Amino acid sequence: MSSNLVIITGDFKSRLAIPFITGGIKAGFPSPAQDYMSDSLDFNHDIIRHPESTFYARVKGDSMIDAGICDGDIVVVDRSIEAVHGDIIVAYIDGEFTIKYLDLAHKEDGYILLVPANKHYEPIKLFVSDPLVIWGVVAWTIKKRPGNNTQELP
């Protein structure tokens, strides 16, 4: 399997209000952000729509790198969303979790594909008789940007 996930539990009952810049952040000329901090974002309320069916998973591997999902990222997976063609899903096959695009274009031909977003990996072809559990649909990706650490600049 080209990608694995590590399941992480979340505490969705608590509130976690973080200041939120409502006017957006410009990628051009800087503006004083403090003037725009008039709201807050609560991950447990604003990001998690269905707490009883949501879980986090840490991505291991690079099979979805061209979709912007990289090794070490955290995905927020909602099990209450019905997976449709083109969704990024978490599937359980052969005793492992994997994250891939769901391709239902060949369903009438008797198979589906789990498609990686990395040209170095082949799609996984699954027939009706193959065991597959779709654990949920990826609703969000949480990334740690490169360089976000305590190292000094060169």
CA distances from 115 to 9, 24, 27, 31, 100 (A): 26, 34, 33, 42, 5
Cα 48 from Cα 76, distance rounded (Å): 8
Residues acting as catalytic residues = 63, 100
Closest CA to 57 of 132, 147, 136: 136
Contact 56, 6 (CB under 8 A): no
User: What distance separates the 2 farthest-apart alpha carbons in the chain?
Assistant: 59
CA distances from 114 to 46, 80, 132, 133 (A): 29, 20, 10, 12
Cα 18 from Cα 65, distance rounded (Å): 29
